[in-house]
Amino acid sequence: MVLHIGVVGLGCDWESRHRPALHSLQDRFKVEFICDEVALRAKSAASQFNALSPHGFRRAISADHIDAVFLLDQQWSGLLPLQSACSAGKAVYLNTALELDSQAQSEVVRLVESTKVPFMVEFPRRFAPATIRLKELIATQLGRPKLIFCHHRITPAQGANSPRWLIIQRYLAEIFDWCRYIVDGKPESLMSVSYPRAEDPSDMEYQMLSVDFQSKEDPSQRVVAQISAGTYLRNDWPEAVSFRPPAAMQVCCENGIAFIDLPNTLIWFNGAGRHMESLEGERPVGERLFSAFHRLLENGNNHFDCLTEFRESTRVIQAARQSIAENRRVNF
């Protein structure tokens, strides 16, 4: 089954994740048009897929032969492409939902629920080969997670085009979903602290969440995840960006500890010593994400309820704001 799709917005992940995945999956996706706020960029990208680069997205989205719309960047048009896709009954793949403000996120949920279009938010960390291997090791070697530590240093390039608190929010929501997937449980409470920007106290350059999870298998067992992200690296510190990057995730389990470097490296330790696994030969994250979306449209087969997970991530971010404002732990 080949899906005829349109792409709206070429974000920072286009060259590294989305374009290579669409090239590799040409037996499943046929790109019909590409729109971007920079017309020359859209025309260049469209030429690589023998696709159109129309001046507007409304008519292109509503065309009868279009099966799905990939919204890959947050641009001047805001939620208008999503509204057009939902109104036309087109399936939606959304890469920008986690960096929207709370009002816009609520509108995303309302649109999808009211129109019941097939819908998927991009949660790339779930689909990383190292994540899938870690889940296997937890089940067979490492045992139940007890403590999780995740920190993401946001580079100046990653945070160039949006308020910093929105960029931080995206990474925190994404990492929270990742931790929830690893734990396979529900959050019970959280505490959050932040550090404001000196140039603009209404913005921030660092935020940390301490989240208590309840294990699904044994509700009496708690798992604590410490999640943080920051934009404190400055443009005039170019060498600091790559200096000793921390592991994307550290997981302390009952029988050992694991360290993940996304997307393909996993190092773990137990009583038998050190084990290093490089998963370079596995399918890239972009291909895994788009294949999951294809399965969703082909037969409704998706391994998680994306709208529920999106709601849960936004609920945690809102609770984090409350925790900062009231300087207390928030219970769910």
Domains of the chain with bracketed CATH? 3-122 (3.40.50.720), 125-282+314-331 (3.30.360.10)
For the record, the structure tokens of 198 come out as 């000196």
Q: Which residue has the higher pLDDT, 239 or 295?
A: 295
* pLDDT at position 11: 86
CA pair distance 309, 326, nearest whole angstrom: 26
Of 302, 252, 287, the residue nearest 128 (C-alpha): 287
CA pair distance 211, 150, nearest whole angstrom: 12
- b/e map 275-286, b = 16+ CB within 10 Å: eeeeeeebebbb
Span 135-144, average pLDDT? 96
Of 132, 127, 71, 135, the residue nearest 99 (C-alpha): 71
> How high is the mean pLDDT of the chain?
92
- Tens of pLDDT along 238-268? 788 778 888 999 999 999 999 999 999 999 9
- Tens of pLDDT along 22-34? 999 999 999 999 9
Give me Rg for the CA atoms of the chain. 20
% of residues, the chain, pLDDT over 70: 97
pLDDT-based confidence at residue 163 (cuts at 50, 70, 90): confident
